[in-house]
Amino acid sequence: MDTGTHLNGRVDRAALAALRKREEAAFAARTPKSRAWLEAARASMPNGVPVAWMAGLYRHNSIVAGGGAGAFFRDIDGNRYCDFNVCDLAMTMGYGPPPIVEAVSRAVANGAHFLLAVEDTRAVTEELARRVGLPAWQFTLSASAANTEVMRIARFMTGRTKILIFDGQYHGHIEESLVTQRGNETVPIQLGLSARTAKESIIVPFNDLAAAEAALKAHEIALVITEPALTNCLLVEPKPGFIEGLGALARQYGALLCLDEAHTFQFEYGGMAGSRKLDCDFVTLGKGLGTGVSFALYGMTRAIADVMEKHLDSDIGLDIGSKGLATGGTTYGSAIAVAAAKAALEQVLTPENYARVDSLGKTLAEGLETVFRKHGLDWRAFHLGPRSGYCLKPDFPTNAEEASESMDIEMIDARRVFMANREVWDAVVSAGPQVSFAHSAEDIARYVSLADAFLAEIVR
């Protein structure tokens, strides 16, 4: 990445390195209890954390959470953070939102799970059908698992195996999408993945219908899957007609289209599929709809629901040849998940609250652009509903390659530790600051003023 060119030489790399060193030392000095705890925890957990990637998200030392309320959480050293990462959107309702606490507590007391539907389950699926525009829904525990089931159904329905994905995508920790292009080959991007499964995926640039058509023409693709706007390589919005064009191409060449709205459902009321009336076969929702409760869902057309009904996998099926679709899990669709989803949809994910976070997102983006101008930078601030971020160029990216020019890891990592020392927890590297349903205008102002202070130290 040629950071020098697109930053116009305005970022003083020596000043950035010095700031980072200073801030990392300050952060380490503020978090001794966390450090000792994590070191001791290594005896019972690799890297001292319950999920290894928690330790790989930042370059500065990790911390141990002590609890949270609203837009803030604290670590075990007693430091407070106003959270603009919100667990990469799994906590967009903030910490301890009363409607979710009340509904989930009641559900736990009343029986967390029965491996049966509960009366409220329908309220969730019917409301999602109304908002998103797809009639039928299934629960899983994670968006990764939802996308896995979508791929299986698409493979069964089309009799094909290949999956079309877009450069810059992330659809979860699943073999088909943890891949990258190397020469003519699609290969795994991490260790422990199947090189054979990686070959089932074809990667083309986002916003490039001609490339998508070229891939679809061989009639081998079962599923086209994309976020309606790429949110895991900062932000890439679809060009007008791109998603609609993908839908038409998928239909023309006999593939199915899934819109992965694990993130974007929280950007617009009904997700982008619902709010923009995007035609597709599946929609994936994830991250507990931002409640922090572990569940996800996927929606499907009536035709696909009919296939699921016809090909029900039955445990009392006698004949191995009559086995049905490989979906489901014992902890999926629990009463807790239903309670959280119902309370979220009825009391938090309301049109008024979406309008409020959209407006705060606009304030954040405008605030950042004012700061950029003040420092003589021709950068832009992303703004898609509550999502903002730093575009280090005068034009917004149209694909992942262009977006990568704004992914200046040194700067992002230095900024997040600078902010952490000043009570703000910034987004992970691939995202951008996210306004949550718990944030106030004061929180946004705090973020913008810290961005200003950070740039004042490194821009020359």
- Which of 302, 279, 353, 168 is closest to 177 using CA atoms? 168
Return the DSSP state at 45: S
Site for ligand PMP in 208-247 (CB under 6 A): 227, 232
Q: For residues 149 and 176, give the distance between their C-alpha atoms in angstroms, rounded to a whole number.
A: 12
Interface map 77-106 toward ligand PMP (x if CB under 6 A):
-----------x------------------
Q: For residues 206 and 243, give the distance between their C-alpha atoms in angstroms, rounded to a whole number.
A: 10
Query: In degrees rounded to 5, what are phi and psi of residue 161?
Result: -120, -20
Stretch that binds ligand PMP, among 66-74, 260-268, 341-349, 450-458 (CB under 6 A): 260-268
Return the DSSP state at 218: T
| From candidates 160, 263, 383, 387, binder to ligand PMP by CB under 6 A | 263
Q: Which helix (H) or strand (E) holds 373?
A: helix 351-374
Q: Which helix (H) or strand (E) holds 225?
A: strand 221-226
Q: Count the Cβ atoms, other than its own, within 10 Å of residue 55.
A: 16
160 near ligand PMP (CB under 6 A): no
406 near ligand PMP (CB under 6 A): no
For ligand PMP, give the closer residue by CB, 170 or 354: 170
Q: Count the alpha carbons within 13 Å of 320 in the hemisphere toward its beta carbon.
A: 0
For ligand PMP, give the closer residue by CB, 88 or 369: 88
Q: For residues 266 and 285, give the distance between their C-alpha atoms in angstroms, rounded to a whole number.
A: 9
3 state DSSP class of 346: helix
For ligand PMP, give the closer residue by CB, 23 or 426: 426
For ligand PMP, give the closer residue by CB, 57 or 305: 57
3 state DSSP class of 72: strand
Strands 282-285 and 256-260 come out as parallel
CB 173 within 8 A of CB 142: no
| From candidates 171, 380, 439, 446, binder to ligand PMP by CB under 6 A | 171
Interface map 119-158 toward ligand PMP (x if CB under 6 A):
-----------------------xxx--------------
| From candidates 48, 97, 133, 172, binder to ligand PMP by CB under 6 A | 172
| From candidates 23, 260, 358, 405, binder to ligand PMP by CB under 6 A | 260
Stretch that binds ligand PMP, among 62-70, 101-109, 234-242, 256-264 (CB under 6 A): 256-264
CB 60 within 8 A of CB 413: yes
| From candidates 72, 73, 81, 170, binder to ligand PMP by CB under 6 A | 170
446 near ligand PMP (CB under 6 A): no
For ligand PMP, give the closer residue by CB, 143 or 293: 143
287 near ligand PMP (CB under 6 A): yes
Q: For residues 70 and 265, give the distance between their C-alpha atoms in angstroms, rounded to a whole number.
A: 21
3 state SS for 283-318: EEECHHHHCCCCCEEEEECHHHHHHHHHCCCCCCCC
Q: Give rounded-to-5 percent helix, strand, coil for the chain.
A: 45, 15, 40
Interface map 40-79 toward ligand PMP (x if CB under 6 A):
----------------------------------------
| Residue 141 Cβ vs ligand PMP, minimum distance, rounded to whole Å | 8
| Residue 188 Cβ vs ligand PMP, minimum distance, rounded to whole Å | 17
For ligand PMP, give the closer residue by CB, 172 or 432: 172
For ligand PMP, give the closer residue by CB, 31 or 92: 92
Decide: residue 292, CB within 10 A, 0-12 exposed, 13-18 middle, 19+ buried: buried
Q: How many residues bind ligand PMP (CB under 6 A)?
A: 14
| Residue 268 Cβ vs ligand PMP, minimum distance, rounded to whole Å | 15
Stretch that binds ligand PMP, among 95-103, 116-124, 170-178, 334-342 (CB under 6 A): 170-178
Strands 201-204 and 296-300 come out as unpaired
341 near ligand PMP (CB under 6 A): no
| Residue 145 Cβ vs ligand PMP, minimum distance, rounded to whole Å | 7
Q: For residues 336 and 196, give the distance between their C-alpha atoms in angstroms, rounded to a whole number.
A: 38
Interface residues toward ligand PMP, by CB under 6 A: 88, 142-144, 170-172, 227, 232, 260, 262-263, 286-287
